[in-house]
Amino acid sequence: MKKLFFLSLLTFLLIFTKSLATQPLVLAGEDRYETSFKVNESLNKGSDALILVSGHDYKSQVIASSLSEKLSSRLYYLKDDNLDKRIEDLAKDMRIRKIYLFEGEKNFSEDIKNKLRNLKELEIISLKDDKDQIDINRKYFREASKAILISKENYADGISAVSLAINKSYPIYLIDENNARMIGENLKKDGIKESIIVAGPSSLSFNLEEFFPNPIRICGPDRYETSLNLFEKYYPKSDSIVITKGDNFADAILSGPVSYQNSTITLLVKEKLSDLDFYNLDYKRLTVVGGRLDRVRKKDYDKVLYLSPHQDDELVFFAPAIREDLKAGKEVYIALLTNGEKTGAITLINEKLAKDKKIGPIELIKARNLEFKHSCMELGIKKENIFFFGYTNLAINEKDVEDSLKSLRKKLGNDILIKALSPYKYELNRDHSLIGRVTKKFAIENNLALYLFGGDYNFKKGDYRAIVIESDMSTFISIKNALNYYKKWDPENGFYAVGWHSVPELFTRMEKLRGSIIVEKINI
């Protein structure tokens, strides 16, 4: 098992470090107990005490970790039923003067306690009830003027707050409806001037704020956003990043001392390390605490395929990204899935044409595709890399999209990065959402790399972090030139300014400098 784990870890390091300019330090063991040793081996500052806490008692871990600097201690996780020989060896070190054993939800056997007593002075710190956390914080944080409050039951939001507590020497309290009043009264007695609530209102109700001195709330729609908001408030200029998996509480709590050493806040990511991209941060040092972040970045793709639902979407959503890919030397392909037949523009166009020159649906589709082709070529895409599928807009279905994807995959292979529009909840366009949803499902089922993009018209409503690819001046000029094909009125040569007649307000907005917005990554 260990051999398999370390082989996987080695593979992880080899793949991941190739994809980053900043080589990460990975502190991960086979389990949380091993990880606690890896973390402590990385710490530079000396200590003269050990903090021992159950590997499964998260509430005690929170308080114990917040005290690690105050007690000049290293934090280790203990199994509930036996004492690791390595812990015994550490305790025998002549530099260690004392052992702090935290007991909360988990009790250690008298056998373990006696073994520890025979090694060094042992202090048992009880965290059985709310009075205990008040007493322990009062004892060790007499000078603190601020306190951190997290939910006692739904403490996912509060994971990152542990690193803040260590960095700032703030006490941390676990709060619920039953203890809020009592803890609030004691905070006031202890001279706490500000209460930093790190929890969403579903975890700690707004109604509880009245009990605490000068409450401020820091939270996001989830634990990941909360960790970023803490980082941006307290350490926005830090060039060191410490990350851990957001659903692995034990590893996340161990990251606190590492964040302290790097003068930063722990950031939480989901399943893959490339989730860090969505925080849009510049950094010089990166530390990863804990394992199971095994869905690593894949290689840099040489071929990129854009899926455009309609004519003009290549400009509205993708143009800066297309230009960036072309500048990077990538082979860029684009597929137009619908024909744009259903538009009120045909009425406006025919009003301008002589009776014998009026156009029908076939001429309209040809005109729309002509605008699209020239727009793509103006951006720099080769003519032979532009594909047309011709499904009717507002009528395209899931099978149509899947058939298109199968055809493109057969033509271009699996070694390609697909870029499409996101089906996220603020996307109101029926075709955009449908194509995004089917493409996402197809990418997941076939292990294909996928970027999903959103629009700036609903970006501010979103509850996600996004990567924005800004337009530079050359891209802006290219977009302006491409836009002109959608405005071009030259009926003799098949140009009817269909795009302009369809959505003039969109083209007016497109004339301003803007960017492409990536809202999600799949398999990358």
Q: Within 13 Å, how many C-alpha atoms sit on residue 242's CB side?
A: 30
Q: How far apart are the first and last CA of the chain?
A: 27
Q: What is the DSSP string of 104-146?
A: SSS---HHHHHHHHTTSEEEEEE-SSHHHHHHHHHHH-TT-SE
d(CA 348, CA 337): 24
What per-residue confidence (pLDDT) applies to 428?
A: 78
Cα 153 to Cα 59, 156, 157, 174, 244: the distances in Å are: 9, 9, 11, 8, 21
CB 312 within 8 A of CB 424: no
Q: Which of 47, 51, 28, 49 is nearest to 39 (CA)?
A: 28
d(CA 107, CA 126): 10
d(CA 524, CA 507): 33
Number of helices and strands in the chain (H, E): 20, 21
Q: Which of 442, 350, 435 is nearest to 396 (CA)?
A: 435
Is the Cα torsion angle 117, 119, 120, 124 positive or negative in sign? Answer: negative
Is the Cα torsion angle 155, 161, 163, 169 positive or negative in sign? Answer: negative
Count of all residues that appear for the chain in the document? 524
d(CA 428, CA 396): 16
What are the structure tokens assigned to 382, written together? 């080769």
Geometric angle at alpha carbon 267, from 265 and 271, rounded to 5°: 165
How many CB atoms neighbour CB 429 within 10 A?
16
What per-residue confidence (pLDDT) applies to 157?
A: 78
> Which of 236-270 are b and which e, b meaning 16 or more Cβ less than 10 Å from the residue's Cβ?
eebebbbbbbbebbbbbbbbbbbbbbbebbbbbbb
SS3 96: coil
What per-residue confidence (pLDDT) applies to 23?
A: 67
What per-residue confidence (pLDDT) applies to 11?
A: 45
CB 54 within 8 A of CB 77: yes
What per-residue confidence (pLDDT) applies to 153?
A: 84
SS3 78: strand
Predicted TM-score (pTM) of the model is: 0.58
Q: Could you tell me if residue 198 is left (phi over 0), alpha (psi between -120 and 50 degrees) or otherwise beta? A: beta
Beta bridge partners of 216: 196
pLDDT, averaged per 10 consecutive residues of the chain (524 residues), comes to 48 42 77 92 90 92 94 92 90 94 89 95 94 96 96 83 95 96 97 95 92 94 89 91 87 92 91 69 86 53 96 93 93 97 92 92 96 97 97 96 96 94 79 94 86 67 59 83 94 94 81 75 76
266 contacts: CB under 8 Å, gap ≥ 6: 159, 160, 162, 163, 227, 242, 243, 244, 252, 255, 256, 258, 259, 289
CB 43 within 8 A of CB 19: no
Cα 356 to Cα 244, 360, 490, 497: the distances in Å are: 69, 12, 16, 19
Beta strands in 248-369 (DSSP E): 266-269, 285-289, 303-308, 331-338
Q: Within 13 Å, how many C-alpha atoms sit on residue 320's CB side?
A: 20
CB 386 within 8 A of CB 322: no
Q: Within 13 Å, how many C-alpha atoms sit on residue 28's CB side?
A: 26
What are the structure tokens assigned to 144, written together? 């603190």
